[in-house]
Structure 1
Amino acid sequence: MNLIIALLPFICIFVLLFVFKQTSLRSGLLSYIVTMLIILVYPSYHITVESTLHASFKGFLISFVAAYVLFFGILFFHLINNTGGIRAIASFLSEVTTDQILQVILLVIGLSPLLESTSGFGIAFMIVAPILIALGFSPMKAASIGLVSLLAVPWGALSTGTVIGAQIGGIPLQELGSGTAIISIPVFIYFLLIAVYLAGGKDAIKYRWKEILLLSVIFSISIFLFNAFVSVELAGVLSSLVTSSIGLLVIKIKNSSSLINETVIETSVSENNGTNLNIIKVMSPYLILTILIFISRLIPSIKKFLESHFVIELPSFSFSLALLYSPGFWLFITCLYTIFIFKISKSIIWSSLKISIKQWVPFVISTTAFVAISQLMTTANMTFAIANAAGLIFGSMFIFVSPFIGGIGGFLTGSNTGSNAMFTQLQVETAKKTGLPLNLIASIQNTSSSHSTMASPSRIMLGASLCRIESEENRLLKKMSIIVLGAILLIIILTVGFLVFDFWF
């Protein structure tokens, strides 16, 4: 009975989302109320009102770390979008090559990870899907490929979900970022293969397998190295820039000399100077953001100053946030730079702020609810009860179950942050019970939850609406669910291999 009661918050979330088809916001709030009632009424999990308020406020503080970054990430996107920057990027890509498969590869492994890493919130899909339609793809293909392009979710909004997972699980951020990158390597290749298959079928894969392999491997190696040796927050941005640059170079090399002479040289005289200047101007905020965070992480004196000034310290909640060191501050500076360099009018700034707040507030509330539920369950020993039962039932076989737990979290919430808030503590506690490596299980949770968000009902609904295929929503959901299931199976195979060969850091 105790186990069933402990599982009620998760059951409540599932029922509200799928049976009653409520939003993540309503599901989170109602499930939080259910959790509150359990710990205030049920004797086995009873805690004091003071402890309840303490755990709830700690949940808010943890979610604020992500909210601080995400607000300026969303604002940055809208500022760039309202100045026509995104259209300029799309136009540039279409001019680089007329080959639709190469365009898809550049979008999926280059532009989409860049947009998702800086802005998060699934915004990359909102940009990539319309671009694909403009390039001639059917709405269903555009929606499917656009959702698959969300392969950089672990590093979305400068890794806010991964940061939350590291904090809740007590895992060093660099270890969690690097572990997620390692586990994601076959998943990156898989998703790019799927995207190309969706775009052109088996023939497209046969024709472009070299480019698929080259760019997915470059992205994978880059994202691991940047996580391990530079910055987890910057890994997605830097990897996408490196991969995009090499992808453009590959396309340039592949262009025949006759095509270069007849098309590129001619347009360079009349058009390319303006286009190049335009694309450089559009990309400059991303480069400025990268450089600023890069400096803040790698120069010891600057890092020390940023970590010790304007710091919110709440020892009773084990909470600390260096406001200047956080990526949120550097996104704020980038927003100011964007306003200045594009000479954005007050009306556009105001409209960008309004729509950013409108998107941001529900995220903050729902994420706070999910994190608070996790904190309350931990404080009331509900998480311990579930972990203990899972440990007794599965033992070391829990390695097969862990990816599905993370996947369910990402699928339910449509958010890596929300999923990590709900399940990271449970996963880590179960790992302690079963003797599995804590950082491996935390990395599995972070990886599987991130890659499952592309099939979440909220994302599917958005995709169907954006591409105007509302009548095909169920078909899109089935297709994406199968694709995500394939990714989960890959994660299981890889992580089992790590344990068998004792290959994990």
Structure 2
Amino acid sequence: MITGLRQPAHRAAVAGAAVAAVLIWWLPDFALPGDVLAAAAGGGGLLVLNAAAVMLPGVYLSQVLTRREVHRSLQEWVRGLPLPGPAKIALVVAGIAPTVEALTGFGVSLLVTVPVLLALAPPPTALRQAMLGMNIMPWGTLGLATLIGAGLTGTQASALGTATAVSSSLVFPLVTVWAALLARPRRRFRTAAMAAGAGGALSLGLLALNRAGVVQPAGVVAGLLTTTVGLVLCAVRRSRSGTERPGRLLPPRTVVHAYGLVLGGIALTRAATTAGVPRLELHAGNASFALLSSPGLPLLAAALLLDRGRPHAQDARAALARVGRPLLALTGFVALGLLMADSGMIGELGAAVAGAPPLVTALAAPALGMLSGFITGSNVGGNALMMPLQERIAPGGMGLDTWFAALQNSAAGHAVFTSLPMIMLILAVAGDRAKTAGVSEHSLLRFGLKVAAAVYAVLGATAVALVSFA
């Protein structure tokens, strides 16, 4: 429905769930007893609640940041940084874009990165670089996809986050180098080495934070750390040459204030739960929802504090309008995934793949994950659709369940940048600049598929290594 009939994801998701329900009713091979159905409905409801509790406050905060011109301040600061063009592009792709996207999600970072990159390069190059900046997705919207994936597989979020950071570790240097080289720098090797260092810093930051159990704000903090390292190196170089004042490298106070409120709120809720404050949990099926552990509260609190405690009705309505369809699509994909898993459909698919050699399964896993991200246009939707199958097809007896779930999480997230909804959003933000330059949906899709092939090669090599050494 999505790729052939160009139907929106929420319609395809609901239709898929309806077809699954009909097959369960029609075919005796797929049974779903009432008690199992009730548990699945409760668990699915809590998974959707987990998502809604982050999506609504996150989009509301992005509306507040746009209205208060925090995004505009960030754009102007990045444009004015005293850095060479390729270095600035690497900083945007590996530092600033991940920070903004991990905080808000839904492609909001494009509101910052597209205008900045259009000021640095011709539109065909800039829009391709903006696509490459959308690869933080497993930690986008404060790690929502990873949290949902952990809930679907019954895995600790920190364990899935750490495994995802390992499987994605080579992707971030890859896309950062690609983005920097698109600028056609004179010193290609030096530029590639610099960009690889920026992408590597992001990968190391994500790995360290997830291993420490800091999953939700990992993308924000890792992006900030990467940005800080780049600015410190620039400040050292400039101070030695005496050509620039380090003060110009500091971000605007409004940006620091807004991001600090969110991170401070997350730290405060973590400290409260560590001190023994009840997390206000709900449990159903294999899922749970803890109000005090959800990043939704810090997001909402930051938005209200920025507006001095006064809710903004117009921003709230805009947030509800933007979240409605993605949330409906997620609900449909969660329902579809749970119906297929609990009725035995996933088991049948897993059994069909189980007879294949482990190396074949390893190569299939990232392909399935990337397909799910491309089709749904969402890391969360891709995980809801394919995560139960990925866990089931992991070669038995090797302890690879979590690693295959991580491959799904990585692959779905790293394919979202080339999905049609994301490409349309990039073209919408670019506006007339894209039309005048002749940049089309088809040309960006072709470019995205080339990058996706390289990403698949990296993830496939990682999967083969995991199976070989398990």
- TM-score normalised per structure 1: 0.86
- Could you say if the C-alpha distance between residues 126 and 30 of structure 1 is closer, same or farther in structure 2, counting changes exceeding 3 Å? farther
**Quick check: 1:409–1:419 contact (8 Å CA) kept in 2?**
yes
Number of residue pairs the alignment of both structures matches: 465
What's the offset of the Cα at 1:56? Answer: 4.1
**Quick check: 1:388–1:433 contact (8 Å CA) kept in 2?**
no
**Quick check: 2:44–2:287 contact (8 Å CA) kept in 1?**
no
Matched, 1:438 2:421: no
Secondary structure, aligned partner of 2:155: coil
- Give the one of 126, 130, 133 matched to 1:142: 126
Letter in 1 for 2:416: T
What's the offset of the Cα at 1:312? Answer: 2.6
Structure 1, 214-223 or 48-57: larger mean CA deviation: 48-57
**Quick check: 1:101–1:204 contact (8 Å CA) kept in 2?**
no
- Find the counterpart in structure 2 of residue 7 from structure 1: none
1:350-382 deviations in whole A, cap 9, x for unaligned?
A: 222121111111111100100100001111100
Secondary structure, aligned partner of 1:364: helix
- Could you say if the C-alpha distance between residues 500 and 432 of structure 1 is closer, same or farther in structure 2, counting changes exceeding 3 Å? closer
**Quick check: 1:193–1:205 contact (8 Å CA) kept in 2?**
no
- Find the counterpart in structure 2 of residue 36 from structure 1: 21
- Could you say if the C-alpha distance between residues 93 and 439 of structure 1 is closer, same or farther in structure 2, counting changes exceeding 3 Å? same
1:86-114 deviations in whole A, cap 9, x for unaligned?
A: 11111112222252212211211111111
Q: Summarize the alignment of residues 40-439 of structure 1 with structure 2, pairs less than 5 Å apart.
A: 40-47=25-32, 52=37, 55-97=40-82, 99-133=84-118, 135-198=119-182, 200-201=183-184, 203=186, 205-255=188-238, 260=243, 264=245, 279-297=252-270, 299=271, 302-303=273-274, 305-306=276-277, 308-314=278-284, 317-340=285-308, 349-431=312-394, 433=396, 435=398, 437-439=400-402
- Could you say if the C-alpha distance between residues 305 and 389 of structure 1 is closer, same or farther in structure 2, counting changes exceeding 3 Å? same
Q: Using the alignment, how far apart are the partners of 2:30 and 2:273 within structure 1?
A: 46
- Could you say if the C-alpha distance between residues 436 and 312 of structure 1 is closer, same or farther in structure 2, counting changes exceeding 3 Å? closer
In structure 1, runs of 5+ residues without a counterpart are 1-15
What's the offset of the Cα at 1:250? Answer: 1.6
What's the offset of the Cα at 1:465? Answer: 3.1
Q: Using the alignment, how far apart are the partners of 2:188 and 2:316 within structure 1?
A: 42
**Quick check: 1:234–1:294 contact (8 Å CA) kept in 2?**
no
**Quick check: 1:396–1:434 contact (8 Å CA) kept in 2?**
no
RMSD of equivalent CA atoms: 2.4
Letter in 2 for 1:45: F
Matched, 1:490 2:458: yes
Secondary structure, aligned partner of 2:243: helix
- Find the counterpart in structure 2 of residue 6 from structure 1: none
Q: Using the alignment, how far apart are the partners of 1:37 and 1:205 within structure 2?
A: 57
Letter in 2 for 1:236: G
- Find the counterpart in structure 2 of residue 459 from structure 1: 422
Q: Using the alignment, how far apart are the partners of 1:279 and 1:479 within structure 2?
A: 34
- Find the counterpart in structure 2 of residue 4 from structure 1: none
What's the offset of the Cα at 1:447? Answer: 0.7
- Could you say if the C-alpha distance between residues 360 and 451 of structure 1 is closer, same or farther in structure 2, counting changes exceeding 3 Å? same
**Quick check: 1:40–1:49 contact (8 Å CA) kept in 2?**
no
Letter in 2 for 1:281: T
Structure having the higher helix fraction is 1
**Quick check: 1:289–1:331 contact (8 Å CA) kept in 2?**
yes
In structure 2, runs of 5+ residues without a counterpart are none
- Find the counterpart in structure 2 of residue 13 from structure 1: none
Q: Using the alignment, how far apart are the partners of 2:319 and 2:207 within structure 1?
A: 31
Q: Using the alignment, how far apart are the partners of 2:445 and 2:3 within structure 1?
A: 13
What's the offset of the Cα at 1:287? Answer: 1.8
Q: Using the alignment, how far apart are the partners of 1:123 and 1:281 within structure 2?
A: 17
The share of aligned pairs that are identical, in percent, is 22
What's the offset of the Cα at 1:334? Answer: 1.4
Letter in 2 for 1:170: G
**Quick check: 1:182–1:224 contact (8 Å CA) kept in 2?**
yes
Structure 1, 54-63 or 474-483: larger mean CA deviation: 54-63
- Find the counterpart in structure 2 of residue 17 from structure 1: 2
- Could you say if the C-alpha distance between residues 30 and 304 of structure 1 is closer, same or farther in structure 2, counting changes exceeding 3 Å? farther
Q: Using the alignment, how far apart are the partners of 1:294 and 1:318 within structure 2?
A: 27
Letter in 2 for 1:323: L
